[in-house]
Amino acid sequence: MTTGPGLDALSIEELRHRLHDAEETLRAIREGDADAVVVRSADEDTVFALAGGEDSYRAMMEAMDIGAVALDDQERLLYANAAFCALIGCGAADLQREGLFARLDARTADTVRGTIVQARDGRHQTQFVQTHDGADRHLMVTAAPLPLAFGIGSALTFSDVTVRVEAAVAEESERIAQAVIASANEAVVVCDRSGRIINANAAACAVMPGELAGRPFEQAMPLIFPNGSAATRTEDLIAMAGAGKAVKGLEAFAPFASPPKDLLVSVAPLRLTGEAPGGSVITLIDLSERKAIEKRQTLLMHELDHRVKNTLTMVLSICSRTLSGSDGLDDFRVRFTRRIQALAATHNLLADASWTGIDLSAMIRSELAPYLSSSGPRMEIGELDRSVGPDVAIAFGLVVHELTTNAVKYGALSAESGCVTVTGRQLERDLYEVAWTESGGPHVKMPRRHGFGQTLITRSLARGDGTGATVDFAPGGVVCRMILPIEGRA
Amino acid sequence: MDRSTELTLYVAGQTPKSVAAIRNLERICKEYLDSSYAVKVIDLKENPRLAREHNIVAIPTLVRQLPVPIQKIIGDLSDTEKVLVHLQLGDAA
């Protein structure tokens, strides 16, 4: 191990001292107190690191798959492992000769220096993007203080975290995509290339309850397409998407849904990577509500058409019959106008009730109101809490108008002591009797001729099944009994 | 420079025990020695021949040159009491 001057030249004391040193050195090496030794030779002395010392640390660093670098306090490179050399594409000798920062681009060098500064009080980590061989990559540099014999250096590790970052981005994109599908109002079904469902949102499950994932789409949702549609079978949708074709707005019927639904179906190829479709995305919009509105609108149009025609027919009839019973143009004008006004008043009441039914007492009060006063004549209306349909209401309005006109000209409403009493009575089935009874007026005589007014009264309410009206010209006052089909209570 | 205690620490580059010995010696000097001491650190990796002056073989080794007689202790100096007693430093002197 060591050599020195001739032992025989040394004193006993010195020899003892040398022996103690030698024993102490052996003990230190054996017990691991020393991790390097100096070996002397004639030419030169050499320092060797002992096994388990620096060499084993270096061996471990070389075996690491992350880049490891040690710098002294002057940014001089003390050590760089093979993984780091591979990461920056540089040989160990070149790196040792040129130094770390000479091999880094300016932006990366700034980032690394900044990280070292930040790590003065402890470990610091920075993730950054570096352009390498024309492509961006994500690197993570970690710096920590490195106590050295002569100052504080830096221990750096470099990791390429591109795969991890891209995986995180892809995972986030996937999460967002899933959230978009899940929160979409439309039913969205995603199928793989074979047409098997791999994802279906809540709206899709509302169309077809139960577990959809894993089932072939055509089995899970056997849609029915109208004649002339671009698709004749559900399988056609998958085939279109498989061929890279997108189709929008196909109407389809889903008899399996509860309740059965009208749907608007669109299909598009699912593009993952590359050109070939990786499956299909099918969206289904529930048209049931829209269809119901369309049906209701069509019904209303037909109903309006029917009512306008009826009204025109009625106006023509009123016109011709009023004309034939008039004593001149002025008489016609007055009678015709009043009858049309009565018709209009009934229409107003019907419109106020949205044509869904009308209160009988409201119609009577509306007609009689202009002829009543506190000094007479009077009107007494019993409980008439029944409503009638629009057609019956129009006829009833005209009848009440004719009765009122007669009463004003010849009957109870022509005298201050007169009174018109209207009562109602429920008959069997859905029939209701309204009795118009005049009293207190002039003595009543049977009319000499059967005018339009009487014809209108007796015929317009006749709708079969016992409906209609009768007029009794009793001497004490006219009594008219009208039997109406009713819809319910007002 | 008149110093009552002169210490020389022999290390070998950045080996773990060399680094630890430097840090431990700094701590011992700061905590146990007064201002009348001198410390020299010699890196034998830079110049191995300097080991000859004190017949250094194992590294790290701390040598107390003054006061005489010369004393040595091998290791990273983590056992403070052993260092103080062995080299008769501080209150143990």
Share of chain A above pLDDT 90, in %: 19
Closest CA to A54 of A182, A169, A194, A149: A149
Per-residue pLDDT of B10-53, as tens digits, reads: 999 888 889 899 999 999 988 888 878 889 999 998 888 898 88
| Residue A306 confidence (pLDDT) above 80 | no
Could you give the number of structural domains in chain B? 1
Closest CA to A405 of A329, A456, A351: A456
**At A8, is the pLDDT very low, low, confident or very high (cuts 50, 70, 90)?**
low
In the numeric block, the tokens 């991790």 are attached to A35
Beta carbons of B55 and A2 less than 8 Å apart: yes
- Distance between CA atoms of A159 and A150, rounded to whole angstroms? 28
Window 74-93 of B, Cβ < 8 Å to A = 74-76
Q: Which pLDDT belongs to residue B21?
A: 93
| Residue A400 confidence (pLDDT) above 80 | yes
Beta strands, E only, A64-196 = 67-71, 77-80, 124-132, 135-148, 151-160, 187-192
**At A4, is the pLDDT very low, low, confident or very high (cuts 50, 70, 90)?**
very low
* Partner residue opposite B16 with nearest CB, options A21, A37, A53: A53
| Residue A196 confidence (pLDDT) above 80 | yes
Mean pLDDT of chain A: 83
Beta carbons of A149 and B22 less than 8 Å apart: yes
Beta carbons of A34 and B58 less than 8 Å apart: yes
- Distance between CA atoms of A345 and A348, rounded to whole angstroms? 5
Per-residue pLDDT of A350-367, as tens digits, reads: 777 666 667 788 888 888
| Residue A256 confidence (pLDDT) above 60 | yes
CATH number at residue B24: 3.40.30.10
Share of chain A above pLDDT 70, in %: 92
**At A141, is the pLDDT very low, low, confident or very high (cuts 50, 70, 90)?**
very high
Per-residue pLDDT of A326-339, as tens digits, reads: 888 898 998 888 88
**At A459, is the pLDDT very low, low, confident or very high (cuts 50, 70, 90)?**
confident
| Residue A183 confidence (pLDDT) above 80 | no
| Residue B1 confidence (pLDDT) above 50 | no
Q: Which of A232-236, A385-389, A403-407, B23-27 has the weakest average pLDDT?
A: A385-389
Residues of chain A neighbouring B18 (CB-CB closer than 8 A): 35-36, 149
Picking from A7, A24, A41, A47 by the largest number of B CB atoms within 10 A of its own CB, the best residue to mutate is A47
| Parent domain of B65 | 5-92
Picking from B15, B78, B86 by the largest number of A CB atoms within 10 A of its own CB, the best residue to mutate is B15
Beta carbons of B18 and A35 less than 8 Å apart: yes
The residue in chain B having the minimum alpha-carbon distance to the alpha carbon of residue A149 is: B19
Residues of chain A neighbouring B13 (CB-CB closer than 8 A): 36, 47, 54, 149
* Partner residue opposite A149 with nearest CB, options B19, B72, B76: B19
